[in-house]
Amino acid sequence: MEKFGFTISKIRQIDYDSNDRSIADYIYEREPSFRLCIECGGCSATCTTGNYTNFSLRELHILIKRGENSQVIENLKKCMLCGKCILVCPRGVNTRNIVILARQAFQKSDSYAI
Ligand code: SF4
Ligand code: SF4
């Protein structure tokens, strides 16, 4: 293959083999609507927390699915569980329950301090 003298920057790489996706599996098992999310961002657009901080539920979903859990922990506490996002989700995702389950999964896991 032709070498162009550059490669993907390390910070842009996602290593699915080493990422821990047990938090995502925990949620999938208990809240199957998590699989219906198409990452459209409707929830983020309506989120009160997102209006005043850089919190994004859409981004949180992506990070959970990728198993980038240290970034998930950083952001998980910002959600106020108000439920506004549930009202606008076009896919009927039970978004609030996903946040609750993610918190639960981290609390039950020995690998994370939350
Ligand atoms: S509004 Fe629903 S489908 Fe869209 S990103 Fe949020 S949870 Fe996913
Ligand atoms: S439940 Fe959380 S993510 Fe949804 S709108 Fe409220 S603060 Fe935002």
Cα 27 to Cα 98: distance, rounded to the nearest angstrom: 7
Question: Using 50, 70 and 90 to split pLDDT, how confident is the model at 30?
Answer: very high
**pLDDT for 78:** 95
Q: Residues lining ligand 1, judged by CB closer than 6 Å?
A: 37-43, 57-58, 61, 89, 91, 93, 95
Question: Using 50, 70 and 90 to split pLDDT, how confident is the model at 112?
Answer: confident
Two structure tokens written together for 67? 């198993």
Does 59 score more than 70 pLDDT? Answer: yes
Burial class (CB in 10 A: 0-12, 13-18, 19+), 81: exposed
What average pLDDT does this structure show over 43-62?
96
Does 114 score more than 80 pLDDT? Answer: no
End-to-end CA gap in the chain: 46
Ligand 2 centroid to Cα of residue 103, in Å, is 14
Instruction: Please give the mean pLDDT across all residues of the chain.
Output: 93
Cα 46 to Cα 51: distance, rounded to the nearest angstrom: 8
**pLDDT for 8:** 76
Q: What is the pTM of this model?
A: 0.89
Does 31 score more than 90 pLDDT? Answer: yes
Domains of the chain: 19-108 (1.10.1060.10)
Two structure tokens written together for 19? 């990422």
Ligand in nearest proximity to the CA of 85: 2
Does 1 score more than 70 pLDDT? Answer: no
